[in-house]
Structure 1
């Protein structure tokens, strides 16, 4: 009889523990979950000089979250102070964005000039920023005067 009381007591304790654990689980569903995904971000230059071209370099070492990963990337494009470029950046991934002043209006021109031996002056680093985009990041204005 004592053995039955012991098993009943253990069973009741197990049931109460399970109920307490289950009742606390919905609170974790109310927490905001961070989503790992690519977002389209419009990049703009502010405070630039008219007629100046800017080489924009976006670099990331990549990141991994669960089964998803972003590989290391190094992308470049050229724009002027009036342009707006759309770039896909991933949430939960840190990026370094370098802004260079350049005489070139195309990313292929420096490479072609190096091959032909008529390389112009080098680019000048104007600004570096670090960003980890969030889901609601849809534009990034890079102020060269700050």
Structure 2
């Protein structure tokens, strides 16, 4: 018996939805990331206020199980729920940028060299020049 035949004898003949599940997970990636950010904001604010999830549930008029779904980051929030949460917690959970705000962002252009690389998008820079023992000047950019 060859290795291929041994392998095929071990493999299930049943079709699995693994590929479809992976594609669906990729399609939900942006939603999931945003949902997790909201969950972290809720948990952080609960800690700041000294509240438990049950307290938030009472103030929102929902079950504790519902709040638990929110803080797990697996809830598809409605705009109404986000507005209520924002009011009760006193934080902004929903921000919609306008075209004017987007146009105010500065674009930073740079040249790459063998000495340094830039690995992140920076919208605001504060230049800091320092003297180094092995080079004349280094430009250390810090976000403002």
TM, length-normalised to structure 1: 0.24
**Which has the higher Rg, Structure 1 or Structure 2?**
1
Instruction: Please identify which structure carries the higher strand content.
Output: 1
Q: TM-score, normalised by structure 2?
A: 0.24
**Structure with the greater relative contact order (CA < 8 A, sep ≥ 6): 1 or 2?**
1
